[in-house]
Each structure stands twice: as structure tokens, then as C-alpha cells.
Amino acid sequence: MKVLRFYILYRLQIIVGLMVIGILFHLNRDAVTAWLCYIVAAVSLVLYFMMGTMRLVQDAVVQGDMDQALAYLKMIKYPQFLFKPIRAGYYSLQSNLSMVNNDFAAAETNIRKSMEIKSDIAGDMRGVNMMQLGFIELRKGNNKEARLNLMEAVKAGITDKNNLAATYLQLCSLEAQRQQYRVAKGYFKKAKDLKPDSEEVASQIRTLEKQIKTLPG
């Protein structure tokens, strides 16, 4: 992993080094080694533009180091050249990080950019993106829009059970606020039945369960 991290961080310097070495071999009439250096440099250049530092960003997010994730993300200067699935992930992560910093305008702009990208390789991300958009509207206090977006997210499909459970819980709370208690209880049951393994979501279920029992209907 350290070697991969070094390669990703210093890819441009490595490309320049490979080109210099290739030229030196060419001058020494070793065309085979020279062209090998040129090819590796060319592939590295393509990877620089099409993948950027997204691998390091994802690793930092998994480790919970959001400051480092943001630092790696800022190293990507030309996101428009990223491979489509990676570009969608780039904008999605940008949205998440903007949410952490309470920059809701940037969060919404980036998630909408992610939604505009269509890729067969990445699969249908509409459900996850609509979920993110719903959470943004919640943070902005637009409960009506949040509810519609979260319902659309469920309809579109959310494969991760923790995200789906979190969406059901938010819909449960929104329906309870609308005094649609039976619907709220239905959403709560769906969230609980998923048995999410995220401690954060599981904790929300335990907390909300006490409130659900007091609802009429």
C-alpha cells in the first residue's frame, strides 16, 4: 500500500523521470528499454487524469480521516477528465465533505453533478444520490422536499442496508411530524427489519423505538 500511495502521490514526477530515463536509453541506442519507459510513462499519464487520487481519498474516508480525504481530493485539478464512475464518486464525496462543513449549496451542486453522470459500469446511483439530496434538504430545513427526495430514493433503489435503513428512519420522523402515524410506524418497521450493522443507525433505531411506542394509531 505504501508503494501504491507513493506512486499515486508522485505520479507526475515519476512520469518525468521515466521520460528522462527513456531519452537516455534512446541516446545509448537501447530502443527497447527506451520505448518501455515511454509506454509506462504514457499509461501513468492516462491514469493521472482518469483516476487522480481517488483511491487515496476513499482509503482516507474509510479510515474516518476526513481532513486527509479533503486534502487528497484537492489534488484532483481536472475532475472533468476522470473516468465516469470515478467522476461520479468524486462529486458524491465532494457533496459529503461539503455537508460536513455545512456548505449546503456546494453539497447540492456537487450531488447534482454526480446525478448527471450516467455509467453502466458504476451502475444506477440514482437511489443513493436522491438519498443524499434528501439529507441535504433536511439539513436546510426543507422537510417537504426532503420527504419527496427520500421517497424517490427508496423507489429508485438503495442497495446498502445501512443507507436504506437511515432513509426509512428519516421518512419515519417526517411522517410522524405530519401526524401520519401509521405510515411512520411502517417505515420504522422496515428500518428495523433490515437489521443494520452500523452502530450509528442501530442507535437511532433504539432511540426512535421508544418514541414510536407512544404514537397513536
CA dist 181 and 162 (Å) reads: 23
Q: Contact at 8 Å (CB) between 69 and 60?
A: yes
Grade residue 38 by pLDDT with cuts at 50, 70 and 90.
very high
pLDDT value for 85: 86
Q: Which residue has the higher pLDDT, 210 or 38?
A: 38
- What is the tens place of the pLDDT at every residue in 68-102? 888 998 999 999 999 988 898 899 888 988 888 88
The residues spanned by each domain of the chain are 1-51
Grade residue 10 by pLDDT with cuts at 50, 70 and 90.
very high
34 alpha carbon, distance to own chain's centre: 40
CA dist 146 and 133 (Å) reads: 7
CA dist 142 and 171 (Å) reads: 13
61 backbone dihedrals φ, ψ, rounded to 5°: -65, -45
Q: Contact at 8 Å (CB) between 107 and 129?
A: no
**Model-level pTM?**
0.77
Q: What is the mean pLDDT of residues 12-22?
A: 94
Cα dist from 60 to 11, 69, 101, 127, 200, whole Å? 19, 5, 17, 24, 19
Q: Which residue has the higher pLDDT, 98 or 146?
A: 146
Through-space distance between the first and last CA atoms of the chain, rounded to whole angstroms: 55
Q: Contact at 8 Å (CB) between 111 and 91?
A: yes
Q: With 60 as the cut, is the pLDDT of residue 205 above it? A: yes
